[in-house]
A and B are shown apart, each in its own frame.
Chain A
Amino acid sequence: MTITPASVVSARDLGLTFETNDGPVNALTGVNLDVNKGDFVSFIGPSGCGKTTFLRVIADLEKPTSGAITVNGTTPEDARKNRSYGYVFQAAALYPWRTIEKNIALPLEIMGYSAADQKARIDRTLDLVNLTGFGKKFPWQLSGGMQQRASIARALAFDADLLLMDEPFGALDEIVRDHLNEQLLKLWDRTNKTICFVTHSIPEAVYLSTKIVVMSPRPGRVTDIIESTLPKERPLDIRESPEFLEIASRVREGLRAGHSYDE
């Protein structure tokens, strides 16, 4: 196994089996994947195919039961201890007793950023997710979509080169989603972050990614990896271009092939 310095995530024959009361559940089997520095990788696949589980393995929230994985060239545990990634969960997971700005400050407090730096970062990330003016509100005073945006701001507030996002825009309406997709691309372009992004939406995956990982369930495995040929500069209307539609149909094919209809 050779690891190039640019490799951010490298999985070899990765497998994870949950031992449950109803017997073992194969959440991941034989996953081989390389994510390079600066990649924008989308994971797409039906519910229960192990997308969240894979992200959690990268984040050292689950331990694989077979195979090997490195993050930034080290074990996931060391990568976590180096605070090398920000994680956006499927649910917002804001702390209800903290205001929005205090929620964004949480990782900054833990990682020991100075008060002035905290303030600047809170303002910047609130602006980034269009929540300026909502910093003093408590989570329950915000809509579900706004809460999710606040949780994205929280993950962007500190300097992690890798961003793990688990269906961050799943709860948002189309317009806000478009806007945030654009913002995310700009941010990615500007900061040169590496992003792993789980989604259920084919257009979203194609629009955002440099690499699309198609997964299928029972057991969770990777069925196709599609390198995008779209340019890095992507206006929203690129989604009507023939090139875009071709990639989208390849993703759809991949999903169909991996999907069993016999239930």
Chain B
Amino acid sequence: MEKSNFFKDRVMPVGVILLALLVIWYVAVIFLNVPFERDTAARAGTAITFSEILPKTMFQQRPVLPAPHQVIAEIWNTTVLMPITSKRSLVYHAWITLSATLLGFGIGTVLGILLAVGIVHNRAMDRSLMPWVIASQTIPILAIAPMIIVVLNAVGISGLLPKALISTYLSFFPIVVGMVKGLRSPEQIQLDLMHTYYASPSQTFWKLRWPSSMPYLFTSLKVAIAISLVGAIVGELPTGAVSGLGARLLAGSYYGQTVQIWSALFMAAALAATLVIIVGFAHTAVLKRMGTRA
């Protein structure tokens, strides 16, 4: 009963979409890769039939669009079949990006919460800071990422931290916005109750505002962790980094290694999904401890 429901409610819908996507992908592979085979055949002066072209489009060295099985094979070769210490291991590159992501996410979360606490408790901070917080996100990250890295390099900071700071730059924003809302979410009557007890501001914070903000915090964390990863990858692009998923993307596009690009993309997507799911589990666990109705 339980199982068949899980299959019907969860596996089936996702599976159907996945299947549809695969079909679309294969059709696209054929369309996009056929011209190259036609050109090759024409240059060699040989006539080629469509049924001869079809299989060739699936196994090109540098396809315009690699076929799913090519990407899967590449991922398999560069993760499972390759030692993690190898410079070609996708796991190694993923780890480089992940460490910058997590560091940036951590700093962004702490910074975001501190700013939100300040904004909620201090009118002057509310007026002066919030416009800057919003303005910070209107600057395209691709434009300032190289500058951040160059400036930090100039003052002797290099390696993990500059990349992490780009993650921070992106991730603190949803945390600030979510937490300002969350810390302001207690109802007037709940605040009045604290007032009647003559509770100190810190008691009101820890016993009312903080627990009230938990659902908002976790919703923000899910967004923040995903864009932290984007930030770390973007941080690898303009600097000619040699390792990390961003470096793999860049190297792949220099040398037309589309299969490499796509496998790095998929790795990034899988990483993002895993991180969001982990935050989701933490969310569920915390809300359960807080007695939220199942």
A positions within 8 Å CB-CB of B: 59-61, 80-81, 83, 85-87, 89, 91, 93, 95-99, 106-107, 109-111, 138, 140
Contacts and interface: CB of A to CB of B under 8 A. Distances in A.
Contacts of A80: 195-196, 198
Given A89-B193, A93-B190, A110 B207 contact: yes
A97 B196 contact: no
Given A95-B208, A97-B291, A138-B291, 7 more contacts: A61-B192, A83-B197, A85-B196, A93-B193, A96-B291, A109-B207, A110-B203
Contacts of B252: none
Interface in B251-294: 290-293
8 interchain residue pairs of minimum CB distance: A138-B291, A97-B290, A93-B189, A87-B196, A110-B197, A110-B199, A97-B211, A107-B197
Given A91-B189, A93-B193, A95-B190, A81 B291 contact: no
Contacts of A93: 187, 189-190, 192-193
Contacts of A81: 198
A193 to B, nearest CB: 16
Contacts of B207: 95, 106, 109-110
Contacts of A110: 194, 197-199, 203, 207
Nearest to A108: B197
Contacts of A85: 196
21 contacts: A60-B195, A61-B195, A61-B196, A80-B196, A83-B198, A87-B192, A89-B189, A89-B193, A95-B207, A95-B211, A96-B291, A97-B290, A98-B291, A99-B291, A106-B197, A107-B197, A109-B207, A110-B198, A138-B291, A140-B291, A140-B293
Interface core residue of A60, A93, A97, A109 (most chain B CB under 10 Å): A97
A51 B292 CA distance: 34
Contacts of B189: 89, 91, 93
Interface string B196-214: 1111000100011001001
Contacts, number: 55
Contacts of B203: 110
A80 B290 CA distance: 30
Interface of B: 187, 189-190, 192-199, 203, 207-208, 211, 214, 290-293
**Interface residue SS majority, chain B:** helix
A215 to B, nearest CB: 22
A106 B194 CA distance: 9
A68 B42 CA distance: 101
A178 to B, nearest CB: 27
B161 to A, nearest CB: 37
Contacts of B292: 96-97
Interface core residue of A95, A111, A138 (most chain B CB under 10 Å): A95
Contacts of B211: 95, 97
Nearest to A154: B193
A83 B193 CA distance: 12
A78 to B, nearest CB: 10
Nearest to A77: B198
A106 B208 CA distance: 10
Contacts of B193: 87, 89, 93, 106
Contacts of B199: 110
Given A81-B198, A110-B199, A110-B203, A89 B192 contact: yes
Given A91-B189, A97-B211, A97-B290, A59 B197 contact: no
A138 B290 CA distance: 9
Nearest to A87: B196
B184 to A, nearest CB: 16
Contacts of B194: 110
Interface core residue of A93, A99, A111 (most chain B CB under 10 Å): A93
A95 B195 CA distance: 15
Nearest to A86: B196
A111 B197 contact: yes
A86 B211 CA distance: 23
A59 B291 contact: no
B285 to A, nearest CB: 14
A20 to B, nearest CB: 16
A110 B193 CA distance: 11
A59 B290 CA distance: 30
A109 B194 CA distance: 12
A138 B189 CA distance: 19
B131 to A, nearest CB: 26
A89 B292 CA distance: 23
A110 B203 CA distance: 7
A205 to B, nearest CB: 24
